[in-house]
Structure 1
Amino acid sequence: MQNYKQHHILLNIVTAIAVTMFFSCQSEESKPSGMLVQKEAPIAEAFEVNLKYTDSGRLTAVLKTPKILDYSNKSFAYHEFPEGIILDIIDKEGKVSVVTSDYAISYQQTGIIDMRGNVDIKTADSTHLQAEQLYWDQKINWIFTDYPYKSFLPDGNINEADGFDANQDFTILNSRINDGVMFIEE
């Protein structure tokens, strides 16, 4: 009888360990799919957005987009604009420069906005720049890319290059590997 009790206790312990191991070793893939979707889903979505940015009471920018996905729940938080943006940047004199792109992503920790697909900038002084990809560092007001771009200057000059970096106002422009058309007076 005592041998039977020891055998029964041992069987219960082995069963408990086996059940514990079975449930603790369950893979991510076997969990309900809703759990995985929530882990990767944005914390919020907004549609037909028209955001206005101010600095010391002065309107500095207006951002329009059909859709924003908010991933501020991630360790490296970001906002995604999967359907593109239209950004009006307003200088201190009230002049407006317009930036558009097919897609954008804004990283909160670094202040960098990555714009991709038909990036188009039209400055208040009639400079026109086209690129496939462009970064804008909001903290230092600097724009840069390593991808080809084309610019059309107000004086008729055209410049094509394989990358540049510039301040937000384009008063400083460092262009790399240039090719273009310049008009010079004799």
Structure 2
Amino acid sequence: MQNKNYNTLIYIVTAYAVTMFFSCQSSQGNQNYIVSEEAPIAEAFDVNLKYTDSGRLTAVLKTPRVLDFTNKSFGYHEFPEGIVLDVIDKEGKVSVITSDYAISYQQTGLIDMRGNVDIKTADSTHLQANQLYWDQNISWIFTDQPYKSLLPDGTINEADGFDANQDFTILNSRINEGVMFIEE
């Protein structure tokens, strides 16, 4: 009789263990992550992006880190450690733009660059500013912040804002002060 009770007990324990084992669900495929609404949906490191237009390389963007906030109602990409952007014209000439920080807004095509913004154009024009905006949709660059430009002929211009097309063939500068060399 004791052997029968022992076997019954073993069957009950086994049935209970098997029931418990199969009733547990794997949480691996059903994880609910709590993500802050302020967090980016993606983050990338050591980025080297190449932009093309009709098969022609038009720009190369390098950055140590990019944060993707395109899940927001006004989506953007943030470059908290700065950028180096090589812009290549149709003749293959390269202009280089660097900044300590940048943010690119998807809906407007506007890029806001801040901190030691430095532009060296293919024709050796050098422009330095604290902040600069680039409207990619209309190929226009502008700022209301102080800037300094150094032209290949030695001309130096300091002013409190400007706007220009992206190849600097049109430049509207405000409140200028500088040195200009004129041939007699």
Q: TM-score, normalised by structure 1?
A: 0.81
Counterpart of 1:160, as a letter, is E
Query: Aligned-pair distance for 1:116?
Result: 0.0
Give, in angstroms, the shift of residue 184 of structure 1: 0.8
Alignment match, 1:103? 101
Off by >3 Å, runs of 4+ in structure 1: none
> Which runs of 5 or more residues in structure 1 are unaligned?
1-33
CA distance in 2, matches of 1:113, 1:163: 17
In the aligned structure 2, how far is the partner of 1:114 from the partner of 1:162? Answer: 17
Structure 2 unaligned spans of 5+: 1-32
Match of 1:58 in 2: 56
Aligned to 1:31: none
One-letter identity of the residue aligned with 1:79: H
- The answer to whether 1:86 aligns with 2:84 is yes
- C-alpha distance after superposition, 1:147-172 (max 9, x if no partner): 00000001110000000000000000
The structural deviation recorded for 1:38 is 2.0
Aligned-pair identity in percent equals: 86
Q: Output the CA distance in 2 between the equivalents of 1:80 and 1:168.
A: 22
Query: 1:39 deviation in Å?
Result: 1.3
> In structure 2, what is the Cα distance between the partners aligned to 1:100 and 1:159?
20
- Greater fraction of residues in helix: 1
1:126-137 equivalence runs, <5 A? 126-137=124-135
Match for 1:46: what amino acid? A
Select the residue among 166, 169, 175 that pairs with 2:164.
166
TM-score scaled to structure 2, two decimals?
A: 0.81
Q: Distance in 2 between matches of 1:110 and 1:62?
A: 20
Q: CA RMSD in A?
A: 0.9
Separation in 1, partners of 2:157, 2:52: 33
Structure 1 residue 185: Cα displacement: 1.2
